[in-house]
Amino acid sequence: MSALGGAPERRDPRIVCLLPVRNAADTLQDWLDEAARFADAVVALDDGSTDGTGAVLAAHPLVATVITNERRAGHLGWHDGRNRNRLLAAAEAARPDWIFSLDADERLDITDAAGLREFVVTQALPGFAYGFQLYRMHGGDTYDPDYEWVYRLFPFKPSHRFLNRRLDLVPVPTQIGPERWIHTTLRVKHFGDADPAARSRRVAKFREADPEGAFQDYYENLRPLGSGPFPRWRARVPELPFLLGAGDSVVQGVARPYVVCLLPARNCADLLPGWFDSIERVADAVVALDDGSTDETEALLRQHPLVVKVLTNPPRPDFGDWDDGHNRNRLLAAAAELWPTWVISVDADERIPPEDAAALRRFLHRGAERGRGYSLASFRMIDDEDHYDRLDYDAYRLFAFEPGQVFPTARLHAPPIPTAIPRERWLQTTIRMKHLVSLTDDARRTRREKFRQADPDCTWEPDYGYTTEAPGELKTWEPRAFDHPVLPARGSASDWPDELDLDGPVLTIALAVAPGQEHDAVQMLWDIGDDERVELLVATRDGYAADVVSNGVKNVATVQIAAESGEAGLANTVLDVARGDYVTFLEVGDRIEPGGFGELIDAHEAGHGVLRAGVTEPPPTAAGWASLLLAGADPAWTYVSFAREALRALGGFDQSCPDGHEAGAARALNDMGLTAGTVSSVVRQRRQAPSVTAMLLARYETGLRGSASARAVRPRAAWSRAAGEIDGAVDASRPLVAGLIAGGAAATWLGEALRRIRRTDAPG
């Protein structure tokens, strides 16, 4: 309390740093002195040191708690997950608001330390974890500019726990899913990988701690050392924003926004505070145009930190000279200077609710396709922001940025989708938007008068009577369900969150249908029968096939996938559309036995997050074997069924990997603690084996796209796993398969190298 007995004095958030450390006595004193710049306390674990590490920790005033492990000579027995969970539990006594993890071979620059303190005071939000850019230092003050993301900061709760993973652990509580991990521009210096000798010591440490090789795919595939020359480290730019959208990059210290919102605004000062509260959940930057306002609109736009550019038109008394097409094209041209990834237009009288905003960001990172225009569902709100009378229209507002794009030039009522995206490439979404323009009778009459001034002869729209229609039956706004699909399925009875069937199916059977397979698909769906617990869903890239299946099978939903979408993209669209707790992916020709639904459901309900099924025959060619093994797949089994919500929380299937996405998803779920089971009622027909050229091209594209699967499997591990099974299974010798595996690994490396070159050359 204050001296006068008033409100409690303001207290800045308290940061507690977790430090697992072993044999670092020579550098630990300096580390602790520097940690005082950003941390209020350090909770440390001495992991069996044989030097003076424990004494240094005990003597330093910043260290609130020291936990110890039994003294040991080497790294055998190192369990990073157990150590970090002990640290997290002990941190509660230090009264943290935020937890930050930093290892003994890592440091924060003094400017980043100050930035961390400022960030938790001004912008960091509860419920999220934050990523830092980890740079490998070379020499005293030079660094490799090819950074990687590490997630180290999150708000403390006593119930939080880390994954109990022995090695390769991300120190973020399991309660904070990856969809709530946010990138920042804050940096960490890493001194443990500075040269080949340090790299060798680091790998040897992991090998000693992991004698059975359970985690070798991680430490044997550490990012290679750069060849230089290396730039000198620079202080953090004070004007640099703290937050980036997922997938953003920092080139030469300049933040590239992930989502830019375009705002044409006129005399809306009263609407802007609520608009900013809404749009900051979606956009990383705003480009605004003040269209001749006579109130405080321009001043409010210039004051808000989210607004990076403000364009203006001269003041005017009414809407007589309103040219919406010209205004929006000016906004798009200004946004192009920022080189965004996505562009969205949201007007000042529109609001995107929090749950829909979160769904939109997830969709952009995992399911949205470049070259398409997407709509938001605009609901007419009545009386307040909690009631509406109807879904008014689909507002097409969202697209991926490409240089040279322009909007239509029609003066009024032209959807802000670039002319280069044809109408057949527009897709409806279930992302909702509240339109506040019709809240009251006065607001509806004002809207009608605006259009009377702007279009007195009804040149741009034949009738404006809809603007003053009396309210219909009012409905209460309901929050969006987390798992509601963004892209509605054709034939689905529940396109909108307020109409969701809470007693939905347990299992979704998703059948991929290629052109020409539609009649076989109809027969297959008839053969596998019907079950009230099961939703039948067909995914196809062919509109004719979708129509044939819809007409031939009752109670089946169809979703049409973009022709250029890969297998992982198709699977992710299914994850978004499916309603079942579990999704089983089938192909035309697969066999599912009578009663197979029950086995799939029972296996999942028993706790298995992923299920595998047998394959009829192994690959018939050497290229087929190499492709499977490099993708981390087993020639005798394939993963067919997944816990939908858990997989979506991990980001879905890896779309940057052209093959092996099922095996990668299975590994991710296993790392999350979900086990894999085997079912006998589903049998996968052997897929067509790729040619040597197709296999090498697929691995090259994997590296080029930056897929996590690119480094998922080492060639030596792939070979040793199945060498004994190859003889007699293919018309080729073992050396040929081994050579193709090595060639595939080289193609992956080449793709990765080109990707790094492109990123370095990318515009800022």
pLDDT tens digits, 373-404: 999 999 999 999 999 999 988 899 999 998 89
pLDDT band for position 289 (cuts 50, 70, 90)? very high
CA–CA dist 646, 738 (Å, integer):
35
- How many Cβ atoms are within 10 Å of 463's Cβ, its own excluded? 7
Structure tokens at 400: 């991926």
pLDDT tens digits along 60-116: 999 999 999 999 888 888 989 889 999 999 999 999 999 999 999 999 999 999 999
Mean pLDDT of 234-244: 81
β-strand partners of 255: 250
pLDDT, position 630: 61
Cβ partners under 8 Å of residue 205, min gap 6:
75, 78
d(CA 133, CA 140): 18
Residue of higher predicted confidence among 204 and 700: 204
Q: Roughly what angle, to the nearest 10 degrees, separates helices 622-630 and 734-761?
A: 50
Q: How far, in Å, CA of 549 to CA of 563, rounded? A: 18
Q: At 436, is the pLDDT very low, low, confident or very high (cuts 50, 70, 90)?
A: very high
Mean confidence (pLDDT) of the chain: 82
Give 497's pLDDT tier (boundaries 50, 70, 90): very low
Alpha helices in 18-162 (DSSP H): 25-35, 53-59, 80-91, 110-122
Q: Are strands 432-435 and 106-107 parallel, antiparallel or unpaired?
A: unpaired
**pLDDT at residue 632, rounded to an integer:** 53
Per-residue pLDDT for 256 more than 70? no
pLDDT-derived band at 564, boundaries 50, 70, 90: low
Share of the chain above pLDDT 90, in %: 36
- Tens digit of pLDDT for each residue in 622-646? 666 666 566 555 566 788 899 888 8
Average pLDDT over residues 335-362: 89
pLDDT in tens, 186-214: 999 999 887 788 888 888 898 888 887 77
Q: Which residues pair with 38 in a beta bridge?
A: none
Residues forming a β-bridge with 287: 262, 309
User: Is 126 exposed, middle or buried, given 0-12, 13-18 or 19+ CB atoms closer than 10 A?
Assistant: exposed
Q: How far apart are CA 534 and CA 584, in angstroms?
A: 10
- Secondary structure of 90-107 in HEC code, one letter for each residue: HHHHHCCCEEEECCCCEE
Q: How many CA within 13 A on the CB side of residue 710? A: 26
Pairwise pLDDT comparison (484 vs 712), residue with the higher score: 484
**Where is mean pLDDT largest: 215-219, 364-368, 409-413, 560-564?**
409-413
The predicted structure's pLDDT at residue 263:
97
pLDDT at 362 over 50: yes
More confident residue, 538 or 731: 538
Provide φ and ψ at 461, rounded to 5°: -160, 135
The pLDDT-based confidence of 764 (bands split at 50, 70, 90) is very low
Q: Write down the pLDDT at residue 252.
A: 31
Q: What is the mean pLDDT of residues 355-372?
A: 85
Statement: residue 291 has pLDDT above 80: yes
What's the rounded Cα separation, in Å, for the pair 214 and 437?
59
State which H helix or E strand residue 599 sits in.
helix 596-605
User: What's the confidence (pLDDT) of residue 736?
Assistant: 72
Q: Comparing 519 with 742, which gets the higher pLDDT?
A: 519
**pLDDT at residue 763 in the model:** 41
pLDDT beyond 70 at 760? no
3-state secondary structure of 725: helix
Cα–Cα nearest to 580, from 505, 640, 530, 648: 505
Q: Are 453 and 319 in contact (CB under 8 A)?
A: yes
Q: Which whole number is the average pLDDT over 581-591? A: 89
Over range 534-543, report the average pLDDT: 87
Among 370-384, 494-508, 589-603, name the one with the lowest average pLDDT.
494-508
Residues 211-236, mean pLDDT to the nearest whole number: 77
The answer to whether residues 16 and 9 touch, using CB atoms and an 8 Å cutoff, is no
Mean pLDDT along residues 345-354: 95
Question: For position 1, what pLDDT does the model report?
Answer: 34
Q: Provide mean pLDDT across the span 739-760.
A: 68
pLDDT confidence of residue 3: 37
The whole-angstrom distance between residue 245's C-alpha and the CA centroid of its chain comes to 9
Confidence of residue 559 (pLDDT cuts 50, 70, 90): confident
pLDDT band at 8 (very low <50, low <70, confident <90, very high): very low
Confidence of residue 695 (pLDDT cuts 50, 70, 90): low
Percent of the chain with pLDDT over 70: 82
Integer CA distances (angstroms), 142 to 229, 232, 234, 255, 745, in order: 9, 4, 9, 21, 30
Structure-model confidence comparison of residues 343 and 141, the more confident one = 343
pLDDT score of 657: 56
Query: For residues 309-321, b (16+ Cβ closer than 10 Å) or e, as one string?
Result: bbbebeeeeebee
What average pLDDT does this structure show over 147-155?
91
Distance of CA 719 to the CA centre of its chain: 32
For residues 573-600, average pLDDT? 86
Q: Do 755 and 656 form a contact (C-beta atoms < 8 A)? A: no
**How far is residue 262's CA from residue 181's CA, in Å, rounded to a whole number?**
25
**From CA 154, how far away is CA 26, in angstroms rounded?**
30
Cα torsion 33, 37, 43, 47: sign: negative
Task: Tell me which DSSP letter residue 403 carries.
Answer: T
